[in-house]
Amino acid sequence: MYDQLLNLISTKIVLTDQDKELCQKYFRPVLFPKNCIIEEEGKVPKYLYFVLSGFMRLFYYNNFGDEVTTHINCPPGFFTSYSNFINQTKSNENVECITECELLRIAKIDLDSLLQNSAAFKDFSLWVFEQSLTYNENRSKDLATLTAEERYNKLIENYPEIIHNVPLQYIASFLGMNPKSLSRIRKQIIK
C-alpha cells in the first residue's frame, strides 16, 4: 500500500529504512466512496492526502450557488486545500472524492513530526511545494492566455484519464467554461 508513495519519493530523494518506517507510522490508509466530501468548507482541513487510486476535486460555491472546481487530481499525488492545511485556517473549499478513492492521509501534527524527524521527507516536501507553485502558475497563465479549446486540448494531452473518470461538468468548471461550451468543443474535435 505504501509502495506508490515510497517509490514516488525515491525518484527524488534517497530514503533510509528509518524514513520508510516513519512514513508507515504517520500515513494512514483510508478508503472513501464515490461522491464523498471528505473535507468541508468552513472548517480547517484535517489531512493531507496521497492518492493511490481514484479522482478527487477541490471546489467552492460562488455567489450564485454554483460549484466552481479549482483542482482535479491525477493519481498518484498529494491533495488537500494546501494553504489552509499548512496554515491550519478555515477553508472556503471542499475536497470531494469523485470516484471511489484509496488514499493515504496524514494529519498536520504528524506531518510536522515527520518533517522534524526526517531530512529526506523535509527535502521531498520542498520539492512538492515547488511543483505545486509551478502547477498553479501555469494554470493561472493558461486560464488567462489560452482559448477554451486550447485548455481542453492541453488537459486531454497531459491527463487523458481525467476525461474517462471525471464528469464533464467538473471538467468544464475546472477549465473555466460552462458545460455547453465544453460539449461544443468536444463535438468539433470529434468531427
Contacts of 101 (CB under 8 A, 6+ apart): 31, 32, 36, 51, 53, 54, 55, 56
Average pLDDT, the chain: 94
Q: What is the mean pLDDT of residues 77-100?
A: 95
Q: What is the mean pLDDT of residues 7-11?
A: 93
CA atoms within 13 A on the CB side of 5: 26
- Distance from C-alpha of 97 to C-alpha of 117, rounded to nearest angstrom: 31
pLDDT in tens, 116-153: 999 999 999 999 889 888 988 999 999 999 999 999 99
- Whole-model pTM: value is 0.92
Specify the pLDDT at position 188.
87
Specify the pLDDT at position 154.
94
- 96 within 8 A of 80, measured Cβ to Cβ: no
Specify the pLDDT at position 189.
83
- Distance from C-alpha of 5 to C-alpha of 27, rounded to nearest angstrom: 10
Specify the pLDDT at position 15.
94
In one-letter notation, the amino acid at residue 128 is V
Specify the pLDDT at position 92.
96
| 67: its cell numbers | 460549484
- Distance from C-alpha of 19 to C-alpha of 93, rounded to nearest angstrom: 32
Q: What is the DSSP string of 2-71?
A: -HHHHHHHHTTS---HHHHHHHHHH-EEEEE-TTEEEE-TTS---EEEEEEES-EEEEEE-TTS-EEEEE
Q: What is the mean pLDDT of residues 73-81?
A: 89
Q: Which residues pair with 94 in a beta bridge?
A: 59
